[in-house]
Chain A
Amino acid sequence: MRPENYQAVNHPPSHEYELNFGPNHPGIEGNYALKVKLQGDIVIEARADGGYLHRGFEKLMENRLWIQNIALVPRICVPDPVPMEVCYSLAVEDLDDIKVPERAQWLRVLQLELSRIAAHLFTFGGHAATTGMYTPMYWGVTDRDLILDLFEELTGGRVYSIYNLPGGVRQDMPEGFLQRVTQTMDYIDGRLKDYDNLFFTNQIFIRRSKGVGVINQQQALEWGVTGPNLRACGLAFDVRRDDSYLIYDQLDFDIPTEDAGDAWARTLVRRMELVESIRIVRQVVQALPDIKGPVRTPIPNPLAWRVKAGDSYTRVESSKGELAYYIVSNGEEKPYRVHIRGPSSMHAVQVLEKLSVGCRLEDVAQTMFSLDACPPEVDR
Chain B
Amino acid sequence: MANSILLTILEVILMPLVAFIVGLFMVLMMRKLAAKLQRRVGPPLFQPLYDIVKLYGKQTQISHGLIHDIGIIMAVGGYVAAEALLPVPGMDGIAAKGGLVTLAYLMMVPSLGLALGVGQCANPNGSIGISRALTAMLAYDIPFIIVIFGVAYHFGSTNLVSIIATQQAEGIAGWGISEMPILAIAGLFALHASLGKQPFEIYIAPAEIATGPMVEMGGKFLGGLFVMQTFQLYTASVLYVSLFLGGGENWVTFLIKCFAVLAIPVLIAYLFPRYRTEDLIRLVWKWPVMLALLGVAFVMN
Q: Report which A residues bind B (CB closer than 8 A).
A: 17-19, 25-27, 128-135, 137-139, 142, 198, 202, 204-205, 207-208, 360-362, 364-366
**A132, B210: Cβ atoms closer than 8 Å:** no
**A361, B273: Cβ atoms closer than 8 Å:** no
Would you give the shortest CB distance from B203 to chain A, in whole angstroms? 11
Q: Report which B residues bind A (CB closer than 8 A).
A: 34, 37-40, 124-125, 128, 198-199, 201, 205-211, 270-277, 279
Measured CB to CB, the nearest residue on chain B to A206 is: B273
Complex Cα spacing A19 to B40, Å:
34
Task: Sample 17 A-B pairs with CB under 8 A, ordered by A number.
Answer: A17-B124, A25-B207, A25-B210, A27-B206, A132-B199, A132-B201, A133-B198, A133-B272, A134-B38, A134-B270, A138-B39, A138-B40, A139-B38, A202-B272, A208-B276, A362-B205, A362-B208
Would you give the shortest CB distance from A201 to chain B, in whole angstroms? 12
Q: Which residues of B contact A133 (CB under 8 A)?
A: 198, 271-274
Among B34, B40, B208, B272, the most chain A Cβ lie within 10 Å of the Cβ of B208
Would you give the shortest CB distance from A134 to chain B, in whole angstroms? 7
User: CB < 8 Å: which of A142, A208, A361 contacts B209?
Assistant: A361
**A364, B208: Cβ atoms closer than 8 Å:** yes
Q: Which residues of A contact B198 (CB under 8 A)?
A: 132-133
Measured CB to CB, the nearest residue on chain B to A364 is: B208
**B37, A135: Cβ atoms closer than 8 Å:** yes
Known: A19-B124, A204-B199. A26 touches B273 (CB 8 A): no
Q: Which residues of A contact B39 (CB under 8 A)?
A: 138-139, 142
**A361, B271: Cβ atoms closer than 8 Å:** no
Measured CB to CB, the nearest residue on chain B to A24 is: B210
Q: Which residues of B contact A360 (CB under 8 A)?
A: 276
Measured CB to CB, the nearest residue on chain B to A27 is: B207
Measured CB to CB, the nearest residue on chain B to A208 is: B273
**A26, B276: Cβ atoms closer than 8 Å:** no
**A132, B276: Cβ atoms closer than 8 Å:** no
Known: A26-B207, A129-B207, A132-B205. A204 touches B273 (CB 8 A): yes
**B207, A205: Cβ atoms closer than 8 Å:** no
Among A132, A134, A204, the most chain B Cβ lie within 10 Å of the Cβ of A132
Measured CB to CB, the nearest residue on chain A to B37 is: A135
Lowest 8 A-B CB distances belong to which pairs?
Answer: A132-B274, A27-B207, A131-B273, A138-B38, A26-B206, A133-B273, A365-B207, A130-B207
Complex Cα spacing A25 to B275, Å:
20
For the complex with contacts A131-B274, A361-B208, A365-B208, 12 further pairs of A-B residues with Cβ separation under 8 Å are A26-B206, A26-B207, A26-B210, A27-B206, A128-B273, A132-B198, A139-B38, A202-B273, A204-B199, A204-B275, A205-B273, A362-B208
Give the number of A-B contacts (CB < 8 Å).
Answer: 74
Measured CB to CB, the nearest residue on chain A to B132 is: A362
Complex Cα spacing A79 to B40, Å:
21
Known: A17-B124, A360-B276. A135 touches B271 (CB 8 A): yes
Would you give the shortest CB distance from B44 to chain A, in whole angstroms? 18
Measured CB to CB, the nearest residue on chain B to A28 is: B207
Among A26, A202, A207, the most chain B Cβ lie within 10 Å of the Cβ of A26
Q: Which residues of B contact A205 (CB under 8 A)?
A: 273
**A207, B279: Cβ atoms closer than 8 Å:** yes
Q: Which residues of A contact B279 (CB under 8 A)?
A: 207
Complex Cα spacing A142 to B124, Å:
35
Q: Which residues of B contact A132 (CB under 8 A)?
A: 198-199, 201, 205, 207, 272-274
Would you give the shortest CB distance from B199 to chain A, in whole angstroms? 5
Would you give the shortest CB distance from B130 to chain A, in whole angstroms? 15
Complex Cα spacing A139 to B36, Å:
11
Q: Which residues of A contact B270 (CB under 8 A)?
A: 134-135
Would you give the shortest CB distance from B138 to chain A, in whole angstroms? 17
Would you give the shortest CB distance from B151 to chain A, in whole angstroms? 30
Q: Which residues of B contact A142 (CB under 8 A)?
A: 39
Q: Which residues of A contact B271 (CB under 8 A)?
A: 133, 135, 198, 202
Among B125, B205, B207, B275, the most chain A Cβ lie within 10 Å of the Cβ of B207
Q: Which residues of A contact B201 (CB under 8 A)?
A: 132
Q: Which residues of A contact B276 (CB under 8 A)?
A: 208, 360, 362
Q: Which residues of A contact B272 (CB under 8 A)?
A: 132-133, 202, 204
Complex Cα spacing A132 to B269, Å:
10
Would you give the shortest CB distance from B205 to chain A, in whole angstroms? 6
Among B39, B124, B198, B276, the most chain A Cβ lie within 10 Å of the Cβ of B276
Complex Cα spacing A348 to B136, Å:
33
Measured CB to CB, the nearest residue on chain A to B210 is: A25
Complex Cα spacing A18 to B125, Å:
10
Would you give the shortest CB distance from B192 to chain A, in whole angstroms? 14
Complex Cα spacing A130 to B273, Å:
9
Q: Which residues of B contact A362 (CB under 8 A)?
A: 205, 208, 276-277
Measured CB to CB, the nearest residue on chain A to B128 is: A361
Among B34, B39, B125, B273, the most chain A Cβ lie within 10 Å of the Cβ of B273
Q: Which residues of B contact A26 (CB under 8 A)?
A: 206-207, 210-211
Complex Cα spacing A204 to B275, Å:
7
Q: Which residues of A contact B205 (CB under 8 A)?
A: 132, 362
Would you give the shortest CB distance from B193 to chain A, in whole angstroms? 14
Complex Cα spacing A350 to B52, Å:
44
Would you give the shortest CB distance from A61 to chain B, in whole angstroms? 34
Complex Cα spacing A129 to B274, Å:
10
Known: A19-B124, A135-B37, A138-B38. A27 touches B210 (CB 8 A): yes
Measured CB to CB, the nearest residue on chain B to A130 is: B207
Would you give the shortest CB distance from A135 to chain B, in whole angstroms? 5
Q: Which residues of B contact A364 (CB under 8 A)?
A: 208
Q: Which residues of B contact A135 (CB under 8 A)?
A: 37-38, 270-271
Would you give the shortest CB distance from A38 to chain B, in whole angstroms? 9
Would you give the shortest CB distance from A293 to chain B, in whole angstroms? 41
